[in-house]
Chains A and B, each alone.
Chain A
Amino acid sequence: MAQLRVKISGFGGQGIVLSSYILGKAVTIFDGKNASMTQVYGPEARGGACSSQVVISEEEVDYPLVDTADVLIALSQEGYDKFLPILRDQGILCYDSDLVTKLHSHDRVIAKSIPATRIAEEMGKKIVANIVMLGFATAQAEISTPDAMRQSIRKSVPAKFTDLNMEAFERGFNYQGET
């Protein structure tokens, strides 16, 4: 594919921006592609709607915004409601099945779900839910090669939490998605 447009949505505090940063770094620094990451956030630091987007390309990224997404990652009901309409036909949706409960029709998209936040809570750290989701999206939507993603996570999280984050990634990566 010439270009892959990934939209990640949730609320402030979930690590939405960090997720897209890790993805962007994986594909640029460790996979040698180009990527442009932009973000939209409100004046609130936590709790407000938050989304970020990564355009991945072999070529230079001319147009950095995502009007139509190839992949949508939703970690909140609001993000799911808002961005499902911009997911292209046969685009891949990855959502947190505990946080997105009021579902719309998924007829025109390929929907995959994972209880990412619950898995993170079981690991004792709710905060790694975003990394569980990244692992899941890496497996289900091939947003990056898994190795580049692993390297990028190692380089992007505090050293004392490396193991925790790597485990979170593997949990998500190996999870058999519910459709």
Chain B
Amino acid sequence: MRKSDLHGEFFIQGNIACAEAALAAGCRFFGGYPITPASEIAERMAYRLPQLDGVFVQFEDEIASMASILGASWAGAKSMTSSSGPGISLMLENIGLGIMMETPCVIVNVQRGSPSTGLPTSWGQSDMMQARWGSHGDFAVIALCPKSPQEYFDLTVKAFNLSEQYRLPVFVMSDAVVGHMTEKVYIPPVDELEIIERKYTSKKPQDYLPYECEFDAVPDFAKAGDGYRYHTTGLTHDERGYPVMTEECHVKLVNRLINKIKLHADDIIMIEEKDTEDAEVIVVSYGITSRIVFPAIKIMKKKGIKVGYLRLITVWPFPEERIRQLASKVNGFVVVELNMGQVCLEVERCAKNAVTKLVPHPGGGMPQVETITQAIQEVADAR
């Protein structure tokens, strides 16, 4: 048994489950800088990676950390970093580079109270739009939100798969509650996990172009050291990977970077729904807040209001189509999130004539049950 084959039932912290998932998915390089409430991921990786002939490096800062996981990925390793808001802010430039060069890797953001250094030891969900738009430019991203240590494990594996499949940095957006929450986690044997490996070209070196592919597709990699000519850059580039500063080349590249996610959103998006089909009001939440809303939903159901539950497992790409469908049937949506209204803006955009009511909280605490029940009542009364 390889040491990575840690399997069975464990009572472990979310951040530890995340690290073990990365290892199970084949991650063998971690570059990072410690920060509360994400440090346990780095700590675990520092302990475990050497056992698996992997590499752990603590860098001088988050800028270097992000650069390192791009480099490791290009060298052929599955790579990851983890941080919290302040560290992610420093990583943003290189995240953009990763998106432009189409570099598979995973970034875990254990969100804490923000802005700035905010609340180091307490929670928030206020980096949701940062994940979406934080790095400059137009692009598409993938971000997954776990609600429990078990799902933190499952979604971290999934994040590696998506990053390889669509060739981009994928965000796992947890928070200080889920990161430090300890629950029972089942880790399956490695050979029972669905793992998507990197797709390498079958072309001969003389026929291969690094970025040659369809308008909505993902180019194949060539293995470093196998004799392929390679060029990649953050500048607008053509199929050869060479910088080409023309409008035509730029339009084509930016569109493809977006299309490869946007046109395949149905394959990427995961949502959980309960009682949404005949609902008057649908409560939309994600991550830890999706567990905080239960008491309020229960109370309002008892009062006779038909309340549905929609949990975003994938927040980016946003499930526009599903929200539009539901919007035509319901009074409206109540969006509960630990920020002052971020994902709520997306719901509102898709809700058309249906009402969208935000229950905001800046983090460090949780919205009161009464605030949520009141919002549900208001939306129920809206028509």
Residues in chain B near residue A41, CB distance under 8 A? 121
Flag if A29 contacts B184 (CB, 8 Å): yes
* A91 beta carbon closer than 8 Å to chain B: no
* B135 beta carbon closer than 8 Å to chain A: no
Flag if B183 contacts A63 (CB, 8 Å): no
Give Cα A38 to B13, complex, Å.
Answer: 9
Flag if A42 contacts B294 (CB, 8 Å): no
Give Cα A104 to B184, complex, Å.
Answer: 37
Number of interface residues, chain A, beta carbon within 8 A: 20
Question: Shortest CB–CB separation between residue B29 and chain A, in angstroms?
Answer: 30
Flag if A62 contacts B291 (CB, 8 Å): yes
Give Cα A38 to B180, complex, Å.
Answer: 7
Question: Shortest CB–CB separation between residue A51 and chain B, in angstroms?
Answer: 12
Flag if A37 contacts B181 (CB, 8 Å): yes
Flag if A64 contacts B181 (CB, 8 Å): yes
* A65 beta carbon closer than 8 Å to chain B: yes
Question: Shortest CB–CB separation between residue B35 and chain A, in angstroms?
Answer: 13
* A35 beta carbon closer than 8 Å to chain B: yes
- Which residue of B9, B11, B295 contacts A24 across the interface (Cβ within 8 Å)? B11
Flag if A24 contacts B121 (CB, 8 Å): no
Residues in chain A near residue B294, CB distance under 8 A? 62-63
Flag if A61 contacts B183 (CB, 8 Å): yes
Flag if B182 contacts A64 (CB, 8 Å): no
Give Cα A65 to B289, complex, Å.
Answer: 11
Cβ proximity bits A29-68 to B, threshold 8 Å, 1 near / 0 not: 1000011111111110000000000000000011111000
Closest partner residue, chain B, to A34 (CB atom): B184
Flag if A63 contacts B295 (CB, 8 Å): yes
- Which residue of A21, A28, A65 contacts B292 across the interface (Cβ within 8 Å)? A65
Question: Shortest CB–CB separation between residue B290 and chain A, in angstroms?
Answer: 9
Residues in chain B near residue A34, CB distance under 8 A? 183-184
Residues in chain B near residue A42, CB distance under 8 A? 121
Question: Shortest CB–CB separation between residue A164 and chain B, in angstroms?
Answer: 22
Question: Shortest CB–CB separation between residue B15 and chain A, in angstroms?
Answer: 12
- Which residue of A29, A37, A43, A64 contacts B291 across the interface (Cβ within 8 Å)? A64
Flag if B291 contacts A35 (CB, 8 Å): no
* A112 beta carbon closer than 8 Å to chain B: no
Give Cα A61 to B148, complex, Å.
Answer: 10
Flag if B181 contacts A21 (CB, 8 Å): no
Flag if B292 contacts A63 (CB, 8 Å): yes
Given the known inter-chain contacts A62-B294, A63-B295, please indicate yes or no for A39 contacting B11, CB distance below 8 A.
no
Question: Shortest CB–CB separation between residue B373 and chain A, in angstroms?
Answer: 14
Give Cα A25 to B177, complex, Å.
Answer: 18
Question: Shortest CB–CB separation between residue A8 and chain B, in angstroms?
Answer: 13
* B120 beta carbon closer than 8 Å to chain A: yes
Flag if A21 contacts B121 (CB, 8 Å): no
Within 8 A of A (CB), among B1-21: 9-11
* B270 beta carbon closer than 8 Å to chain A: no
Give Cα A144 to B148, complex, Å.
Answer: 23
Flag if A43 contacts B181 (CB, 8 Å): no
Within 8 A of B (CB), among A132-171: none
Give Cα A82 to B122, complex, Å.
Answer: 19
Flag if B180 contacts A39 (CB, 8 Å): yes
Flag if B182 contacts A21 (CB, 8 Å): yes
Give Cα A25 to B294, complex, Å.
Answer: 25
Given the known inter-chain contacts A38-B177, A42-B121, please indicate yes or no for A24 contacting B291, CB distance below 8 A.
no
Within 8 A of A (CB), among B163-207: 177, 180-184
Given the known inter-chain contacts A37-B181, A38-B180, please indicate yes or no for A28 contacting B11, CB distance below 8 A.
yes
Residues in chain B near residue A61, CB distance under 8 A? 183
Cβ proximity bits B247-267 to A, threshold 8 Å, 1 near / 0 not: 000000000000000000000
Residues in chain A near residue B148, CB distance under 8 A? 36
* B64 beta carbon closer than 8 Å to chain A: no
Flag if B11 contacts A25 (CB, 8 Å): yes
Question: Shortest CB–CB separation between residue B134 and chain A, in angstroms?
Answer: 26
| Nearest 7 A/B pairs, CB to CB | A25-B11, A37-B182, A28-B184, A62-B294, A28-B11, A63-B294, A38-B181
What are 12 A-B contacts defined by CB distance under 8 Å? A28-B11, A28-B183, A28-B184, A36-B148, A36-B182, A37-B183, A38-B177, A38-B180, A39-B180, A63-B291, A63-B294, A64-B181
6 additional A-B pairs beyond A21-B182, A29-B184, A36-B181, beta carbons within 8 Å, are A24-B183, A28-B184, A29-B9, A37-B183, A61-B183, A63-B292
